[in-house]
Amino acid sequence: MVQTGRMNVDDLQLETARLVLRVPRAEDLDAWAAMMADEEAARFIGGVMGRSLSWRGLMTMIGSWHGTGFGMFSVIEKSSGRWVGRLGPWMPADWPGTEVGWAIVRDCWGKGYATEGAAAATGWAFEHLGWSDVIHSIAPDNVASQVVAQKLGSRNLGPGTLPEPYHQSRIDIWGQSRAEWLARNGSRPAARG
C-alpha cells in the first residue's frame, strides 16, 4: 500500500468550507458514470463514455493513488454527502506537466466548487508532493475552466499537446509556479487534511 508521508492514501481527506476531497472508491462508479454520460459535462474531459469505460477511468484514478501516491480526488458535497465530481493532481505518462484538473457534475456548475476544490488540491500538491509548478490543460473554447484557472492565479502559457489518444485535441497550458502560488496564497494550507 502506497503511503504519502505516514498516511495511507485510503485515509487521505482534505476539507474545504463546502467540500470533502477524498481518494476515489469503487462505490463512486454510478455517479462517475453519470457525469461521463452527460455530453456537456464530459465535453472537455475525454467525451461521453459508457459505464464500462467510466469504470476503467475510475480504476485508473484509484490505481494512480496507489501506484504514485496521488491522483484526482472524489469531490463530496458536505451538505448532502453527494459525489459531485473529481479534481486534483494528475500526471500520466508523457503529460505536459504536473497538472491539477477538475470536472464537476453539471447541476453543480456555477457554485464555485471547481475553484474551491482545485485551490485545496493545488495547495496540497505544492506542500505534500513538492511540485515546483502546476498546469491546467484547457481547451481554448472552455471559458468556464479558463475562469477557474484565473481565479487560482494561473495564466495562459500558450498551446500544448497531450499524449495519445488526446494528441489531436487543441489545448492551452495554463499554469503558475510554486513561488507565484505562495506569493498569492501565503504558506498557509489551502484546506484541512
Q: How far apart are the C-alpha atoms of 72 and 61, rounded to whole Å?
A: 7
> Rg of the chain's alpha carbons, rounded to an integer?
15
Locate cell 456548475: which residue? Answer: 109
Residue % of the chain over a pLDDT of 70: 93
What confidence score (pLDDT) does residue 4 get? 47
Q: What digits encode the pLDDT tens for the residues 132-165?
A: 999 999 999 999 999 999 999 999 999 999 999 8
Verify cis geometry, omega within 30 degrees of 0, for the bond prior to 165. yes
CATH 3.40.630.30 matches 13-185: yes
Domain boundaries, the chain: 13-185
- Give mean pLDDT, residues 119-133: 97
Q: What digits encode the pLDDT tens for the residues 68-89?
A: 999 999 999 999 999 999 999 9
- Greater confidence, 190 or 129? 129
What confidence score (pLDDT) does residue 191 get? 52
At residue 186 the predicted structure's pLDDT band, cuts being 50, 70 and 90, is confident
Are 177 and 122 a contacting pair, CB within 8 Å?
Answer: no
Going from the C-alpha of 28 to that of each of 23, 128, 175, the distances in angstroms are 10, 25, 29
What confidence score (pLDDT) does residue 62 get? 97
- Arithmetic mean of pLDDT over the chain: 93
Q: What digits encode the pLDDT tens for the residues 25-59?
A: 999 999 999 999 999 999 999 999 999 999 999 99
Q: How far apart are the C-alpha atoms of 113 and 106, rounded to whole Å?
A: 11
Q: How far apart are the C-alpha atoms of 90 and 98, rounded to whole Å?
A: 6
